[in-house]
Amino acid sequence: MSDLAARVPKGVLRLLIGMPDEDWAAVLEAQTDFLMIFSPFPLPDVQRARLDEVAQFYLDYFDGLLGRTTEPTDLVRRLLDAEEAGDLSRDEVLSLLHTVLDAGFETTRTSISNAIELFTTVPGLFDRVRADTALVPGVVEETLRLRAPVQTIPRILTADHTASDGTVVPSGATVLCVAGSANLDESVFPDPAVPDPARPNAGRHTSFGGGLHHCLGAPLARVQLQEAVLGLVRRFSAVEAAGESARSPSLMFPSLRTLPVRVRA
């Protein structure tokens, strides 16, 4: 996870935000606690207090980063120009910088590791992609479909909804849309549990959401995933499991925490 999956988004985010290497440990240490903000369920008082603490930490951190930055990146310069023009408040600038970090790291790291896990668990998949690199985009889409980095997405209904079994869910209800289940819909994806990098409609998965809520970073995420997979199949002849992996027991973010692998040049 640290040797490969985290390094790709970390490099991209350094390019976007300009965070120095020495800041990463403290910034990422708070990341897991911040993910509580997406909980579809009410948080206990202790967790709410911790979430407030972490949110303030990020605001303070990015405020300090801007104060010591002498050569801001293009993205940071655009945000500062918008603040100077009165289009953004200071808090909005700081929040947007954290959003880039939050949305651009965890899910990308998770998806890169998920792709590697598929290679270690599906016989012949790595060899197939290695023999035909035109399949790299397809294996990325199949990874996103089979291992959605965000499994559940809470939404509030704005109108009554009648489910397929006739149950009426009233307007105003909070519902959990299970992307991981939708991505295995056999009426859309034949043999849905089988990863097929040549699947013609693999990109129809719901892992990036949809409509007005479609992930703004989806194009950047796809580039990072494709480059990571392409680098693996070009550099190595095999990627094999080297021990037991472990996932976070989370309904929303079941990300890999450890993934020991062995590679052969």
The reported pLDDT for the residue numbered 153 is 84
The reported pLDDT for the residue numbered 30 is 83
- Within a 13 Å sphere around the CA of 245, how many CA atoms are in the beta-carbon half? 22
Question: What is the model's pTM?
Answer: 0.88
CATH says 7-149+212-264 is which class?
mainly alpha
Written as six digits, the tokens of 252 are 């929303």
Return the sign of the alpha-carbon dihedral for residues 194, 152, 210, 148: negative
| Rounded-to-integer distance, Cα 230 and Cα 210, Å | 27
Outline where the chain has alpha helix (H): 7-17, 24-29, 31-34, 45-68, 74-84, 90-121, 125-131, 136-146, 179-182, 218-235
pLDDT, one tens digit for every residue, the chain (265 residues): 888 898 999 999 888 999 888 888 888 888 878 888 887 778 899 999 999 999 999 999 999 999 988 899 999 999 999 999 999 999 999 999 999 988 888 899 999 999 999 999 999 999 999 999 999 999 999 999 999 998 888 889 999 999 989 999 999 998 888 999 999 999 999 999 999 999 999 999 999 998 888 998 999 999 999 999 999 999 999 999 999 999 988 878 888 999 999 999 8
User: How distant, in Å, are the alpha carbons of 64, 206, 212 from that of 169?
Assistant: 46, 21, 22
The reported pLDDT for the residue numbered 3 is 86
Written as six digits, the tokens of 106 are 């965890």
